[in-house]
Structures are given as structure tokens and as C-alpha cells.
Structure 1
């Protein structure tokens, strides 16, 4: 990829990790992501890599570096960071944040691979993965190496789930999260609705026709979350609506499912297009208890 320069490893005497992130890594990312044609208008997500694979778990040191990078990139025109609010704590009183971050599928994953070796050397490698082509972006790379402090080593051992990935295949929603699932789907759906050529769309949400409790509760909560935007109207009667919404579940593999929200015009002759949003869900089905038969006594 022309215009990308690979940064060689820096010895610790020249730069601490914090200095390198602020003076080298962030300027490099701001320039590449805002100016290179490859990234123009594309949705980008930052996270953790390990052996070339996106990781659903994130250590605190990588999280701190990512937060610092994201703060700078969010303030840079021309860079679209996806799913930034998915990693924040929220309450039922929160209004959805804008601008919308669910308009486009994530195209590029910018991965931080941070490791500590046996000699307490800290190694950070930055790479970019094209998720649509399933290939690495050639020439896009940065590297740093230096001695880890005690605090950095401790932060590396503090690990949490990366909630910015929640709902993607590598970190699906799980049983008991219908509120979080409905909130995310409502945010994504609202962004799609705002692209339609209709002001204050009227929506009729059809009851979920299944005995799957989590999906059914998600559809019920979706109504309330959409109503909180204020400029989306929920109609009880389908005849009064511009669009009808229904949920559908597809089994992917084992307990992994993909839950879709399908939106169609209420009238067949309408010029409004069909739209949809989806998320992944992992359900653990309880196993029936096994019965132990009493042993026969010997005669």
C-alpha cells in the first residue's frame, strides 16, 4: 500500500511507551486514516490482536493506549470510528449518542498486539486488517520495544472483555442480556431509519412469533428504546404505520444464533426500501438432569 511506512523498533533509551504513542503512533494513525484514499469514508475499529487474531479480551494497558488513540482520532476530521459507545457503561436513562456509528459495516480493524517476554521486554506491534478482504493491509505497521515498568506489567495482567466487540461473532450476546441486545439494535436501526427519505417515520413492531424468551423480550424492549429517540413514532395499528418491523432468528452453529431485525414498508406500493440490522447471540440450553438408577443388590 503506497503512502504507508513501516516504523522500525525503537530502543527504550530513545522513547518511553507513552512518549512513543503520543509523538509517533498517534500522528501516524491520524495521517494515514484521514488522508490515505484507502480509508476514506470507511468504518474503523481499534482493538487487541494476538497471533493475528482479534481478541474479545482486552488487557488494561492495551485499553489505556486505545483510549488515548481514540480520543485523538475522534477529534480528527475524516476518520470514522465504529462502535465507540459500545464500550461505555450506560443506564436506562441515557439517550442514544450521536452521530450514528452503526451506518456502515466495519471495514478495517486496527490491531494492537502488546506482549511481555521473559526478559521483561515489552513489545507492541500495530497492524491493520481488512475485514472485507480478510487480508492484512500491506505496509501499514508500527513497532515499539522497551523495558516494562512494574505498573505496565500489572496492567497487562488485568483483563476484561472488550465490550466494543459485543454483538459481533467473536463476542456474541449471551443469555440474560436482552436489554443490552435491544439497546444496540435500536441504536443501529435508528441510524438506518435516519437515512430514509421520510421525516418522523411511523413504525409498527410485530410480536415475536417464537417461544425463545430472550428474542421475544428483546423485541418488546426494542419498542421502548426506539421511542426514546423522540423523532420515531410507534404505532399499535399496522394500518397507521409507514414501516413494519419483525424479528427473525437464524441458527448458525451449535448454540450460536444470528438475530435479525427486518424492516419493510407497510404498503407494498411504497417507495421506501427494505432495511435490516443484526447481531449475534449465544444461548446455552439447559441439559435435562441425568437419573442414576439404584444398583441392584446381590443375592
Structure 2
């Protein structure tokens, strides 16, 4: 008889002995004529039969349930499935000394195990740098200055090698202002942004994005509305769904995607905010919202 059959019969014994105990208890309480057929013609025999059945049933329950099925397997000599050892993680080191630059390009450097494939993902970036025989790699990333101030670029570096566990790193590169000229330009741009009062009609903005007209693309705008959804994206930025039109019933409608660098921890669904930024293109990521919605790349939020 196989171990599985023995194990099945052992576990099946719990309900079996409970039924037998109930059967004996009936004859214990009130002897029946048919009890003589099973040799339980007296209350003493019925009581003994009931107690033994209960003891056996509870013993099996204790072994199988309280000590776990694995204990039953061990008693019956069943073979456990050997656990597969976890593969070692592939090496992935970023070897740059600093992650700030005042230039429009930044060279990301790293080192992995020889024979590893490396992928770099970020906003508008997908690259597969060549890994040299010694495991080193480098990849040039565009870090253009943002006219309104310092910019941050976030990237995910994935190292994959057959037979080893993947290794992922998140890198944040800061594009700083290089000098007095850029500082002055940034100050003027932010001052201009604070004075922006332009709010493009929602239907015109939606048509502009969905029809790829881009008449308003990168135009400075200001929108006040109610947050209907807010979430943090993989690379640390925040995306909100902001309803910018209040109807006659007092309900907010007409959603705009608002993208903002960094985490937003002091705002939640239902809050009222004002954002200053520039019109982006349509946001068509169906994993977030299953429709095309006009977008604003926010620079400031109040």
C-alpha cells in the first residue's frame, strides 16, 4: 500500500471514529434490541465502545491537525518534495561617484557579472548598454535643463543573467543650474509662472490632445480643481486625476492628468488644489485610466 493511501486512510479516520462514537453513545443512553447484533447489548459495553472510539478519533485529529500534516507524513515515512535553493542574485553596481550634473548629458556607469544583460528604463528612455568582458558598462543619458529650475531624472537599471536572480537599481540624476545665467533664467521663468492665470477651455484642450493638434502643447496654464485619484509612480513621481470643472449641481468633472515630480504626501482624494505648469500630450496608459485624457506637467502646486 502506498504512502498516499495510508495517509488518506489515517486522515479519514477522524470522521469515521466520530460517527462510531455517536453510534455507541446512542446505545449507551438507551439500549436497543438491535444492539445485540453488534455485541453491544449492555450499557457498559456501549460506554466502553464510545470512549475508545472518541479516544482514537481525537488522537488522529491531534496528530493530523494540531501537529500538522507534515508530522503525519513523517510518521508514515512519506517523502517531502525537496526545496529548490534560491538562485544567487546577479551583481549590479552603479559606480558613479555623484549623480548631479550641470550639463545636458550624463554618463551612467556600472559593473555587473560577465555575460549579464542590462536594461535602462526611465521617462522616454529605454536602452541596453553593451557590457564589456570585464562586466563594466556605460550609457549616456540626456539631462536637459528645465527652464523653470532644477530637474530630476529617475531611471531603473535591470541586470539579468540566466541562472541568477535579477537585480534592479533605481538611480536619480539631478540636473542642476550651471551658473548665474541659468539661475536668472530660472528665477524669471518661475516668476512668470506665478503670474499665469490662463485656463484653456477643457473641450479645446481635450480635442487638442486627442487629435494630435498640439496647438497648446507646452503652454503655461493654471488649473484649480478637485483630486479624484492620486498615486505614486514607479520612479517616484506623482500622478493625479484632477477634475477642473464644477457643474451646476456642485459636482466636479472634466478630468486632467497632472504629473508632478516627487512624492506628494499631504494631498488626498477629494482635496482642492491649484496647479501651475505646462500642457503636455495625451496620457493613454490604460493601466491607470482607460481613456485618453489631456495632461499637465505641473511645476508648482498650491
TM-score by length of 1: 0.21
Larger Rg: 2
Task: Indicate the structure whose relative CO is greater, using CA pairs within 8 Å and at least 6 residues apart.
Answer: 1
